[in-house]
Amino acid sequence: MRIYSKFPAEPEFESTINSSEIILDRMEYSQRVFGYVTPEITGQYRFAVSSDDNSELWISRDSSPRNVELFASVGDPDSTNGASTIPRNFRDYKNQISQIINLTAGQDYYLEALHRNQGGNGHLTIAWQTPGMKDNDFTVIDAKLLSLYLPEDFHLSEKRSEHLNCILQKHLPLIVRVVPPITPRQLKDEREEMCLKYPILDHKQVSDVLSTCPYDPTRSLHIAWYQVKLSEVYPDDKTSIYRKDGNTIIKTTEIKEVVKEYMDKLKKVKGDLYKLKRILNVVKKHDAIKGSRYLLELELSVQGKSESVLLSEYVYKFSKEYRKVHNKTTSELCYPEGMVWSKDTKIYIILPVLNYGYWVKYIIDELSKIYLNTKERNFHLVMIDFNSTDFEAEKYLQESVLRNSFTFLKKGGRFFKTEAINEGAATVKDPNSIIFLMDLHITVPPCFFDIIRKHTIKGKLSFFPELLRLSCSASDIYPQGFWEGMGYGLLGIYKKDWDSFGGEDVEKFRYRWGGEDWDLLDRVASARIEIERFKWQKLFHFPHAKKGTWYKKKNATAH
């Protein structure tokens, strides 16, 4: 939990409890429980903790959170390995029972527990041994001796800030003690912010460098998810750090040959106007019958200017085998017909929601950051809301920087994803714009829109990116998880192409879940739109709570 970028701020859920024992019928969650315990008897006490999975119990020798010490734990706090006990079993691990602590009757003592559940139903028990109890006996703390750390009206910001500052900053339980197997430095890749660093060289400036060749890739009118061939990349994008099944890396020798041929052609036409500084990114889609398509992204210096530019062009190379059969086919690098992406195309994000207010706010905040921190303005959020009760999304949007960049549709009745997507897409009137089917709980990388545009081309190319589903013990800062090879819920496609096959199949998937994404993939293929897919570095799906499973508000504060 401590490795989440926003922890401990902005928990997904806040509530109060009236017991030092919490048993939840759910899996994969983390919680932070804190408050005061006020003993009735002066004397020597010992505390104990049991949990599924890991937990830590921190206690202060007075009422201040600043003075907490780690008194007990399930599992080693410095290890990422899972550990668990059955409820109220305090003797499975050596650190489950604390040393003796002297407490004074009537004095408030701050205590805090951190708990992480990875699988199976979770539980957390904080117990103590009071003066006079037998050495091996522990009991759950009486509810009347527990009290809130935050006041009853803690939701009021002016009272909340005074108390929260103490437990959100320089607070010992929040320090990252575990060294994750993956560090942010290992994941750093210049491509993730490429759109912010270089102005893009307009295609018109280099349209005469190569001749144009016909582009009609080999494809089937019907396709299953497991038949989609993923594109390859260069250089190493580090997607294999999360798991060994990352993107396939193109051989350096192949890339050098392609780039050399392009740069030789560029020099022949433009002279010394442009020179290669670096190969920033290459994405390759190989056609076993015809040849290979490449998206070349090169940093070029411009004669007489100090600022570099980004060349971002699709090129094609027919295979020797194909040329033997089709002897009039060019052997030279060429521009594939129609494969020019537009850096100015407007993108409409289609997002159906039902509650999950925390994550709705998260998406709005992430899009707002792009609006505020970059020059990107050419996007529009279309939110279809099924009578959510936990968050006023429309009001929040109206008060955000996106106030002029959203459409809000209200729907009643049962959650109906396919119909909601079609209705959201129907609000987009420009056939020359891109619609992107979005989901909650996913990150929004800095060059989010730029990458969608590059891999979505009208009449030619649709984009089904593959995301990394984070495990319970991972985060966007320290990612661990698995690539969602079966998931096709995210889609970038031109509105004109969407209309050509009628969007989602509403009748087939009116209320049932499962298969609608694969069906949509097949519908795209049947419209003869090529499918682009690769593992998108730093496109992460967060683990999240299932609605309706949290305990109700009662009496110590839980985050």
Q: List the chain domain ranges.
A: 13-183, 190-336, 347-541
Look at residue 38 in the predicted model and tell me its pLDDT. Answer: 96
Check pLDDT > 60 for residue 136. Answer: yes
**108 close to 98: Cβ distance less than 8 angstroms:** no
Q: If you average pLDDT over every residue of the chain, what do you get?
A: 88
pLDDT exceeding 90 applies to what percent of the chain? Answer: 66
Mean pLDDT computed over 212-239: 92
pLDDT band for 559, please (50, 70, 90 cuts): very low
| Cα–Cα distance for residue pair 397/318, rounded to 1 Å | 49
What are the E-state strand segments in 118-241?
122-129, 139-140, 146-147, 212-213, 232-234
Q: What percentage of the chain carries pLDDT values higher than 70?
A: 89
Statement: the pTM of the whole predicted model exceeds 0.95: no
Which of the following CATH numbers is that of domain 13-183: 3.40.50, 2.30.30, 2.60.120, 3.30.1380? Answer: 2.60.120
Distance between CA atoms of 82 and 55, rounded to whole angstroms?
10
CA proximity to 15, closest of 36, 33, 37: 33
d(CA 539, CA 257): 31
Q: What is the mean pLDDT of residues 134-148?
A: 92
The b-or-e profile of 481-497 (16+ CB within 10 A means b, else e) is bebbeebbbbbbbbbeb
pLDDT one-digit tens code per residue, 75-113: 875 555 678 899 999 999 989 999 999 999 999 999 999
Is 382 a residue whose pLDDT tops 70?
yes
CB 186, CB 482: distance < 8 Å: no
**Structure-model confidence comparison of residues 438 and 167, the more confident one:** 438
Give the bridge partners for 540, in sequence order. 468
Higher pLDDT, 258 or 79: 258
Annotate 95-122 with b (16+ C-beta within 10 A) or e (fewer): bbbbeeeebeeeeebbbbbbbbbbeeeb
User: Does CATH number 3.90.550.10 belong to domain 347-541?
Assistant: yes
Confidence of residue 7 (pLDDT cuts 50, 70, 90): confident
Average pLDDT over every residue of 391-411: 96
What whole-number distance in Å separates Cα of residue 539 and Cα of residue 246?
13
Residue 11, pLDDT score: 78
Please identify which residue in the block is written with the tokens 């929601």. 353
Residue 84 CA to residue 93 CA, distance in Å, equals: 9
Phi, psi values for residue 548, rounded to 5°:
90, 5
Residues 311-357 have pLDDT tens digits of 999 999 999 999 999 999 999 999 999 999 999 999 999 999 998 88
Q: How confident is the model at residue 472 (pLDDT cuts 50, 70, 90)?
A: low
Q: Looking at the DSSP assignment, which residues form a beta bridge with residue 316?
A: 293, 334
Residue 542 pLDDT: 87
Give the best-scoring range by mean pLDDT among 3-12, 149-158, 188-197, 228-237: 228-237
Could you tell me which residue, 230 or 241, shows the higher pLDDT?
230
